[in-house]
Amino acid sequence: MTNSSRRTPILLATTTVLLLSSLFLPSNALDTESTSTMTASKIKGITNVVIAIAMEAEAAPFIEHLSLAEDADFFPKVTPFKAYRGLHEDCDITVVTNGKDDVHASGVDNVGTVPAAVATFLALQTITTTTSSPPDLLINAGTCGGFKRKGAGIGDVFLTTAVANHDRRIPIPAFVDYGIGRIESVNASELAKSLNAKLGVCTTGNSLDKHDVDDFHMEQNDASVKDMEAAAIAWSCSLHNVPHLGVKVVTDIVDGDKPTEEEFLENLSSAAKSLQEALPKVIAHVCGKHHHEL
């Protein structure tokens, strides 16, 4: 047998192995361009941020401040949700709001967990589809009730450490943790120092007021602040594997003496202005950084 004839089976075997390897390896294993893109994404840090805000009165000052433009084609036409987009601090910014109630023809803001979860899910899905990658961070910005037992005062800015539900009570052992639905927020301790903000758990429920049973579960959640959307928004973020952070301004004291609805309406305008002042600082801090640097 000549050297040439001995090499032929070896070459054929090698070719066969390479061919089979290409069939069974993941497609991106041989895609150097894809690998380079992923590496570049990790290097560049946070450059695409979604900001979910339930009420238009809360969002309007910030949208105006950043000169964001409405994107009428962002959400499906059948939904009431609104999207405003633009560039700021070298970041792609998308602000989404829950829009107004058409179903019951009340014209009020769509507050609560259902519209918040759906709007967030669709926003993350749209950006992931159009850019081939999910957003780097979702910020849930808005007003909240605060607990004086946790040191909250009117106008305080809180960053969430975690979110949980206090009114999703399912007293069946296998469902208890699901009902509470606790989800950790991205660690933002450096941002808290920069803003002189406070840190704490946000507890979520679908009622503005509260009852004794709510008090018990909110305390069990170790809540510093209370809202009507955060846990639902975090749930949608988890489905898309997008880190989330709540930026909340206190409008009312949950464990105070004033009726919640009166105190909320009294302080909503000033809280929206505080939010407008805080959010650009938040964007300036997070853009370009990695999550562990927040």
Cite the active site residues.
Answer: 58, 252
Measured CA to CA, the distance from residue 61 to residue 102 in angstroms comes to 24
Q: Show the tokens assigned to 257.
A: 């003496």
Q: Show the tokens assigned to 154.
A: 């009117």
Measured CA to CA, the distance from residue 37 to residue 252 in angstroms comes to 46
The string of DSSP letters for 257-276 reads SS-HHHHHHHHHHHHHHHHH
Indicate the pairing of strand 183-184 with strand 82-88. Answer: unpaired
As a whole number of Å, the end-to-end CA separation of the chain is: 68
Measured CA to CA, the distance from residue 165 to residue 179 in angstroms comes to 7
The string of DSSP letters for 90-149 reads TEEEEEEE--B--SSS---B--SHHHHHHHHHHHHHHHHHHHSS--SEEEEEEEEEE-GG
